[in-house]
Structure formats: C-alpha cells, structure tokens
Amino acid sequence: MDSLPLDVSHPAVRDYLSLVRLQVLTPLSLLINIATLLVCSVIVKPSAGSIIKSHPTSISPSPNLIAAYIVAIFLGQIGYCILLVIARKPETKTTLVKGVGLSLVFANWLMAIWAICWILEFFLLSTILLGLLTLCLLFSNIALLTYHPPTSARPLDTALIHAPLRFFLILPLSLLFPYSLFITLGLYYSPSHPEDYGRFAWPGFGVTFGANLIGLVVILMRSDIVWAVAATWICASIWSARPKPGPVYITVILFTVLHPLALFGTLLYRRITGLEGRIALPTDEEHDTGAPNGRGPREVDAEGLWGTG
C-alpha cells in the first residue's frame, strides 16, 4: 500500500476504494446467487420447489409465486448494481458505501448457501442461515432508514437502493425463516395424508398474523409502497397453495385486502392533509420580507448551513 501514489488513509480515498470494492463484489455475489438458485430449482432433483411440496405446513407458499418474487428481487439488484457504476452524486455514493456496504454481498452469499443446504434437506442449518440472512438485511435496512432516508430529491436512490433491500428483507422475515423453522421443529404433515392439513393451524396463524400486523403498522406509519406490495404478494403465495387451515387462510385473505387498503388510505390522507396545509399557510410569505433570496423570517438556508450551496 505504501507504493500507491495515493494517501489511502484519507477518508475520501477510503470511500472511493470501498465503492470500487462494492462494484466488483456485489455483481459477483448476485451472479453466484442467481446461478445457485437456478441450479437448485431447475437442474438438481429434488429441487427447492419439490421440497416445499414434500414438506407441507400450515404456511406453505406456492413455489411459482415465490419463484416470481425472487426474480423480482434479482431484477431490483441488477438495477442496484447499475447504480453502483453510474452514481455521480456524493449523497448516493455515501448511501451505497456506508448505508448498504457489504451487507447485500453477505446476503447474496447466505441465500446461495441456504439454497444448497435446502436441497440437501439440512433444515436446521437452513433455518440458521435464514436467520442470519434476516438479521443482515434488517441491519442494512435500519441503517438506510436511520442515516440515509429516502428523499424525493434522489428518486433513483429510493427505487434502486431502498426498494430492492426492503423487498429482499420481507421474504425471509415474513415467510422463509418461519417456514424453515416449522419444518425444523416438525410442524408439518405428510403429503400422503392431506387430511392432516389442519394440524399446527394455530402456530401458522400466530406467524402469519404477527408478521402481517407488523407490516400493516409499517405501511400505516410510512405509506410504504414496497412493503405493501411485498406483503400482499407473500399473502397471496400462502393462500394460493391449498389446502390451508381456516385460521391461516382467513388471516392471509384478510391481509391481502388490508395491505392495499392501508396504503391507499394513508396516501389519500397525506394528500388531503397536505392540500389543507398549503391552503392554511399565512399570506405573509407572499410578500417580500427583506430576507436574502426571498426567504421568509422562519426559513433556513439549509444549503448554506450544511455547506453544500
């Protein structure tokens, strides 16, 4: 490192090297994840989908809908990788390097290893890997929302960073981890005895109700479109795989309706209250206050304050 014509101890240089590292490692981890899941889903027998069918539980999803969900995750990550290369704004680069960092790389590796363990029917190890995957994605999403929240000033950041990371999180959090845990604990029935589908109905109800209630709260508080779409998708994947015990079936059908309604309701409420707020503004700001740049007496020059003007 001493032979490099750069001062690698400088923060800007370190951030640049971190970005270059992400530009290499993130697409590589994504390609490995895609290749592994394709092999485990299409080539290897038993495939990942057939294992789901051979271990039915009260929350078993439709393999086809889950496969489509995973394809959507991969498409979002492709957009993320493109943004890694074309990003020019310092705020975007900071979000990529310090908000996400290597979390997405680790998440892709964990999912690829999980797919291998899943087809080998190492269910305990699969559950542990899914738990680590959930924690990894949860950490990155919390870091993004806390230190690099989405803003309308950078719509690409919202669409290609926040949305793919949150969409990825909801899959193991709401479905894959509890489903793998059910199998590990023996809370499944034999497909040769479909009349036993009502067994373990209440653990399934607890999982689906709890996960969807959390999602509903997030949607109501944040008007989160991504969470609403993902949670509705997961619910549809569960009730479309039949048979299902009554408590689980009714719960996922109910939340399939509630999630979009909550989203539309919060968006409508924000629009109405926003319009009322603009109508109720005092007319003093329409007059010249004598402040520089035409700002009102209570307005703050944020760009000047942060030195970005």
Q: For residues 205 and 290, what is the distance between their CA atoms, to the nearest angstrom? A: 63
Estimate to the nearest angstrom the gap between the alpha carbon of 301 and the chain centroid.
34
Q: For residues 48 and 55, what is the distance between their CA atoms, to the nearest angstrom? A: 11
pLDDT, residue 6, reads 61
Cα atoms in the 13 Å half-sphere on the side-chain side of 94? 10
Q: For residues 273 and 271, what is the distance between their CA atoms, to the nearest angstrom? A: 6
Positions in the chain short of pLDDT 70: 1-10, 275-309
- Polymer length of the chain: 309
Q: How far is CA 308 from CA 91, 132, 227, 282, 290, in A?
A: 11, 39, 33, 29, 23
pLDDT, residue 191, reads 86
Burial of 309 (0-12, 13-18, 19+ CB in 10 A): exposed
Q: For residues 48 and 51, what is the distance between their CA atoms, to the nearest angstrom? A: 5
Burial 3-23 (b: 16+ CB within 10 A, else e): eeeeeeeeeeeebeebbeebe
Residue (of 68, 77, 35) closest to 49 by Cα position: 68
Q: For residues 39 and 254, what is the distance between their CA atoms, to the nearest angstrom? A: 36
Q: For residues 154 and 96, what is the distance between their CA atoms, to the nearest angstrom? A: 13
Cα atoms in the 13 Å half-sphere on the side-chain side of 114? 21
Burial of 195 (0-12, 13-18, 19+ CB in 10 A): exposed
Evaluate the omega torsion of the peptide bond into residue 46 and state whether it is cis, within 30 degrees of 0.
yes
The ranges assigned to domains in the chain are 11-272
CB 173 within 8 A of CB 134: yes
pLDDT, residue 300, reads 44
Coil vs helix vs strand at 255: helix
pLDDT, residue 7, reads 61
- Quickly tell me which residue has 């193991």 as its tokens: 172
pLDDT, residue 17, reads 85
CB 138 within 8 A of CB 169: yes
φ/ψ of 153, rounded to 5, equals: -70, -20
Q: For residues 173 and 212, what is the distance between their CA atoms, to the nearest angstrom? A: 10
Evaluate the omega torsion of the peptide bond into residue 191 and state whether it is cis, within 30 degrees of 0.
no
